[in-house]
Structure 1
């Protein structure tokens, strides 16, 4: 359990690190480039993100699961069987990308500068380290690279003419970070001796099957930005994209728990009654903690959005305030559904049941975007995203209803809903006490958090009982 908790912490740290560069630089670059140029950046990155999904071929899920299941002596062979699929996909995608940009696209510079990104995705083998539960040393190295790029942005990017420079720094830093994964990997493989390197057709079939839901995910996580950029203006796209960035960072922290728990869940034999009870308990605890944390973070983002947008992005981005308030609503259903999808459906290899919610979500999202974005721009895209996320969550629950006692897992949800409503109302009622926007957010967040803790114990939630039991245990030891 100690190792699991340690991995949760370091995986969460890694998720924060890979996003902290744009987070910290956002206030700076939003004032330098403005809404139009940032919209161009968002449009290009949305395309690269879509290609990333195709290159990785589901290795973040399939690779993590198969490496976790493999014996130590077989890890090297299993790794190369999986990575050769990623390599082949990367070569095809990169070649087609270069061909299309060279002959059919204008403003080629902003597209050519993304090539290191594509190569970085070919080299991305973080799934191997997630599978073996050893990520600490890699994270330290990647942190150095990422913060190096952060420093470069502040030192070199000085005016709106430096857009290509800014995009290049982000692209190349990702490439360098993924090279460090290989340094650690090759050192480990030296101890294994001779490793069989081959291409696996069975793994390819699984990867292609897994690509279907991932394609669907990208439709409303990345390609939706491409649609907004095509159907509306780049300024509207900038509002739509920037309002989501903070929410996505919060989500990456919450869902990192699922990424670490997935290898553990994959080892639980649901055919055994004792293991089945253990799985039910693990999922119940994971759902409760994840849901309650996500609801707290949702409230903090919603009630601070008005001050946060002005303080963080600048006055030019004030029109996107309501986008940020409402897009925060996707945190809870995404986090809750992610636990069920990653820790059960995917961990147990139920790829069909994993795929269905995403496919349905992609269809819903495309239809809603085509209807709402031309009329309401970023606001329409935000509405489409919220509806899609709630639909996907409902589908995720529905497809696994036969395997789990969902009534038991969700037994605390009524209490959580009341707590959420109470702290949300409180958060919006708290006025600004001082002139500083930042201090007002700190004060408001502190009050909401304290009341949140009080309500957890007042409603006698399972989480409050866990903390009470832990405190009693510590007292007995001392």
Structure 2
């Protein structure tokens, strides 16, 4: 468990760093570029995110669990064959996707085609990304350090080069090239873990079946997490896209920190026995629910002050969108526990696929009905309904493999604590002139209230927290 904790810590630190970076760049860019121009970036970036699915072919999911099992039970030669044999699928798929993208954009000159071309390095980054190999090895320190350096360089370039809406093309180029370089750095160390390239794919038939099975939910997920912005842009305009996209931005940053638990634990779950899995699953569910409700209510209580402070006065119309979108901080990680840590770890690919496929259908239907008349508000309602349905399906579809009563015994208590903390936060007066200081004080007070109520209740997770604090203090004393 010590290595698992260190990996969670490494990944959490990196995810927090990813949160801090936008805290510098987003306020600057939202003011320099403005809602309309920023909305163009949102539409193009999310289109590219969708195309990246075809570059990777879900190899990352297959790779993490395959490398994890091979590391535990296989030989060094089997690890070499698994790495190269899986990456060949990714390499060929990436090449085909890039060529088709370039062909279509140059021949048909679709909307924002020139910006799409600038994002080709982004697609190359997906093609050469082998971070899944290090995640399968549970070597997260290497992943964290190298990506941190690349991200810092991109921040410096953004602040130096982006000065007006006319510099949008520079922003596209900085983001795409820096991401590509971040993927290439992993190749510098791969020779330490695997041998020379092999001349065959890895378990061709089995892998193809897994790819097809997992590609369907990957495409479906991207439809309601990435293509929802271009769809909104089609029915509305780039300003509405900017409001919708940025209303999700802070929540998505927090989600990165919370879902890092799932990312780290999935390799462990893939190599554990059933009974151990159930223990880990319960603890992980409680941790994600606790963090999700805590962060969600803090964001909701601060939204009214946060939007003009962080994004600028032009983005005030997105305030209610950001308030309600914070609910996804609770829903998505909870579903991720059962999807990533349980279904994928146990090779239940069909059970992983079904909820997101249904979710994609619901999202497209709701977007078609709500985006045109209600704009960003309609898109927000559509995504919230979609995420709720996906969550329920993820819990229900693997119900035969875990005890619902045991796993969810304390979950309602976290919801109650969250509601009480939110009410307290909403009732707190703004006594300090500085918006930043006022939000900081309110957030700290809400954290104290949440923790106080939590420890007043008899929660199983309280003992885990106390054990961790005790072990940490002992190490400090040494």
Q: TM-score of the superposition, structure 1-length normalised?
A: 0.95
- Aligned residue runs from structure 1 range 342-353, under 5 A: 342-353=340-351
Match of 1:197 in 2: 199
Contact 2:154 2:175 in 1 (8 A): yes
Contact 1:216 1:361 in 2 (8 A): yes
Structure 1, unaligned runs of 5 or more? 271-275
Match of 1:237 in 2: 241
Distance 1:22 1:269 in 2: 40
Match of 1:273 in 2: none
Distance 1:72 1:317 in 2: 55
Q: CA RMSD in A?
A: 1.8
CA 1:33 to 1:87, structure 2 compared with 1: closer, same or farther past 3 Å?
A: same
Is 1:82 aligned to residue 86 of structure 2?
Answer: yes
| SS class of match (2:399) | coil
Match of 2:265 in 1: 261
Distance 1:472 1:58 in 2: 40
Is 1:98 aligned to residue 96 of structure 2?
Answer: no
CA 1:80 to 1:475, structure 2 compared with 1: closer, same or farther past 3 Å?
A: closer
Is 1:47 aligned to residue 47 of structure 2?
Answer: yes
CA 1:468 to 1:12, structure 2 compared with 1: closer, same or farther past 3 Å?
A: closer
- Aligned residue runs from structure 1 range 35-434, under 5 A: 35-70=35-70, 71-73=74-76, 74-105=78-109, 106-189=111-194, 192=195, 194-199=196-201, 200-270=204-274, 276=275, 278-434=276-432
Is 1:14 aligned to residue 14 of structure 2?
Answer: yes
Alpha-carbon shift at residue 80 of structure 1 (Å) = 1.1
Alpha-carbon shift at residue 135 of structure 1 (Å) = 2.4
Tell me which moved more, 303-312 or 52-61: 52-61
Alpha-carbon shift at residue 100 of structure 1 (Å) = 0.8
| SS class of match (1:349) | coil
Structure 2, unaligned runs of 5 or more? none
Distance 2:316 2:192 in 1: 50
Alpha-carbon shift at residue 165 of structure 1 (Å) = 0.7
CA 1:447 to 1:315, structure 2 compared with 1: closer, same or farther past 3 Å?
A: same
Alpha-carbon shift at residue 24 of structure 1 (Å) = 2.3
- Aligned residue runs from structure 1 range 20-39, under 5 A: 20-39=20-39
Distance 2:210 2:84 in 1: 15
| SS class of match (1:348) | coil
Distance 2:417 2:29 in 1: 37
Alpha-carbon shift at residue 203 of structure 1 (Å) = 1.0
Alpha-carbon shift at residue 197 of structure 1 (Å) = 3.5
Distance 1:467 1:268 in 2: 23
Distance 1:202 1:210 in 2: 12
Measured against aligned partners, the alpha-carbon deviations of 1:357-392 in whole angstroms (never above 9, x if no partner) come to 101111111111111111110000001111111110
CA 1:319 to 1:85, structure 2 compared with 1: closer, same or farther past 3 Å?
A: same
Contact 1:247 1:331 in 2 (8 A): yes
Measured against aligned partners, the alpha-carbon deviations of 1:105-161 in whole angstroms (never above 9, x if no partner) come to 254321211011111110111100000011212321221111011001111111221
Alpha-carbon shift at residue 269 of structure 1 (Å) = 2.8
Q: Number of aligned residue pairs: give it.
A: 469
| SS class of match (1:402) | helix
Tell me which moved more, 459-468 or 244-253: 459-468
| SS class of match (2:193) | helix
The partner residue of 1:449 within 442, 447, 450 is 447
Distance 1:110 1:84 in 2: 29
Distance 1:283 1:295 in 2: 18
Contact 1:23 1:246 in 2 (8 A): no
CA 1:218 to 1:472, structure 2 compared with 1: closer, same or farther past 3 Å?
A: closer
Q: TM-score of the superposition, structure 2-length normalised?
A: 0.95
Alpha-carbon shift at residue 476 of structure 1 (Å) = 9.9
Measured against aligned partners, the alpha-carbon deviations of 1:66-122 in whole angstroms (never above 9, x if no partner) come to 111112411111011111111111111101100111011254321211011111110
Distance 1:473 1:301 in 2: 31
Distance 1:72 1:417 in 2: 46
